[in-house]
Structure 1
Amino acid sequence: MPGILLVRTDSDDDVWEDVLWRMGELPGMYRSGQAGAADAVARESIPRRLIVTEDPAWRGATSEDVSAALDRPGIWVPDLVVLTDDRTGRDADSRPLLAFRGSDGDAFWITPRQAAMTYLVLHHPYLSSTIGWFVETAPAELEWELEEDEEEWEPDEEDLHEPVGVELESLNAPPRYTRPARELPPLIQETDLGGVLVRTDFTDDAAWTSLVERVCRPGHDVIDDFGDYVDFVDDPAFAGATPEQVMAQVRHPGTNKGAMTADVVLIADATTMREPGHRVLVIPLEDRIGFAFRVAPELVGGMVINLALGNMDIGDFRNDEA
């Protein structure tokens, strides 16, 4: 079962609670010692688990200590291990966490929100490449090697790599998962060379009809039709759903079906319906996971095809939007 192990190694209650708040009320979350939590994990629509360890015995533990504890027969090995660190307490803006893949010791820095967004899509295949990108982008090592006489020197914050997800923490309205009022249906991302567009605002049917038309036929040419490359989800069950709740329900077809997908989920929310341009919200499900941006509906069809084929990456469209 895919999952994350979050370990508290510090003694500051305020720092710890801040980390948990930023991560949100994630599905499949199990806090050690919480009654009935294990049953709640089993009931989730998409199998995954986030085990939160708060045992005082782990105070002061290092990543090597946690890795050694996992290297025992019969122990569940999570996809990702995340733990608080001295740096978590020092940096109140982004609360960096020390992380490493459960199967090896490549450590890197990640913010709580980025860890949460990654957890929501951890069940997708190929995500190991994204975690590998995290390792390259924000390694736990210093930006340069210390000389022998500098072994006792304590590095400043600017001497460390910036954690993955610092952009998320600095947004005016940063992403945070909250439990939906009712269970949402799964979203199957299986359109070859395409993606899924989910309607979450149901106040204007005419605006939705216009949006679908502009996505399918951006040039008003019957020959130029992208309708086969976008699955339109017009299900009132998603009314009022947040972007994080939607992305948590996306299921990838898997490696055995051979489908090439854009690895984004598209959302028609209240802003999409009400603004004149009807710009669609785009949520990346790999690399810049959860870092939302908007594109014109006329660009959606070409975007999902080029992303699925690998001709372009999400940064090309984010940069254009910015």
Structure 2
Amino acid sequence: MKEELPEIVRADEWVPLVIRTDYTDDAAWWEVIAELERVVGGREWESPVHLVDDRRWDGVTSDEALVAAARDEELSVVFLADDVTMRSPLRPLLALDLGADDDQDLDPVYYQELIDSPPPREVRVVPDAVHLVHGNLQLANVDFPEFAEEAAADPDGVVRDLVTAPDGPGS
């Protein structure tokens, strides 16, 4: 692991955390920021995000990011702007599930099933859907595997906001 990563201090647990881990394309990063911060689909509220744009995170792996983000006990998901984000025209962020380690009080049979077939820990999310994923996981409305199923059913393998999805209710 890289030397100790800086602590992430978020002012608001209801704001998604996005960490930049690839510094090869500044123009792509600015596109990601613009998509994250725009008002989505005629909604009347702003779309704030907590951005970590610090070169000390350059090249950090998903496992390293999970360890660093897990210091924030209120955080259920972290989004990485990695090399795939910067190369793909969809700019899909890598969403990492922080809630998958809540296994302490599980039934031993169910726990063995989790060991044999662990739930997905990551999924690609287009910037328009970051707030949807983050909000639903924070409220425990949806489990992370449900988003993984949604991505698996998408032709591009990403989670999309229903308002902006090509075949969703907003189209």
Please, which of 94, 97, 121 is the counterpart of residue 291 of structure 1?
A: 121
> SS of the counterpart of 1:249?
helix
Corresponding position: 1:279 with 2:109: no
TM-score by length of 2: 0.69
Please, which of 123, 130, 139 is the counterpart of residue 309 of structure 1?
A: 139
1:223–1:205 Cα change, 3 Å: farther
Q: What amino acid sits opposite 1:271 in the alignment? A: V
> SS of the counterpart of 2:50?
strand
Map residues 130-169 of structure 1 onto 2, 5 A cutoff.
Answer: none
Q: Where does residue 264 of structure 1 map in the other structure? A: 77
In the alignment, structure 1 segments of 5+ residues that lack a partner are: 1-178, 255-259
Corresponding position: 1:215 with 2:36: yes
Q: Where does residue 198 of structure 1 map in the other structure? A: 19
Map residues 67-82 of structure 1 onto 2, 5 A cutoff.
Answer: none
Q: Taking CA–CA contacts closer than 8 Å with sequence separation of 6 or more, which of the two structures ends up with the larger relative contact order?
A: 2
Q: Within 1, Cα distance between the matches of 2:16 and 2:62? A: 15
1:317–1:218 Cα change, 3 Å: farther
How many angstroms does 1:203 deviate by? 1.4
Is the CA contact 2:120–2:148 (under 8 Å) kept in the aligned structure 1?
Answer: no
Computing the radius of gyration over CA atoms, which structure comes out larger, 1 or 2? 1
Count of residue correspondences: 135
How many angstroms does 1:281 deviate by? 0.2
1:249–1:190 Cα change, 3 Å: farther
Q: Where does residue 239 of structure 1 map in the other structure? A: 58
Is the CA contact 1:190–1:253 (under 8 Å) kept in the aligned structure 2?
Answer: no
Cα deviation 1:74-110 (Å, max 9, x = unaligned): xxxxxxxxxxxxxxxxxxxxxxxxxxxxxxxxxxxxx
Is the CA contact 1:193–1:309 (under 8 Å) kept in the aligned structure 2?
Answer: no
Q: Within 2, Cα distance between the matches of 1:184 and 1:242? A: 12
> SS of the counterpart of 2:94?
strand
1:284–1:321 Cα change, 3 Å: same
Q: Within 2, Cα distance between the matches of 1:273 and 1:253? A: 26
Q: Within 2, Cα distance between the matches of 1:241 and 1:189? A: 19
Root-mean-square deviation over aligned CA pairs: 2.3
Please, which of 26, 47, 65 is the counterpart of residue 226 of structure 1?
A: 47
Map residues 107-146 of structure 1 onto 2, 5 A cutoff.
Answer: none
Q: Where does residue 148 of structure 2 map in the other structure? A: 318
Q: Where does residue 159 of structure 2 map in the other structure? A: none
> SS of the counterpart of 1:187?
coil
1:218–1:300 Cα change, 3 Å: farther
How many angstroms does 1:222 deviate by? 7.6
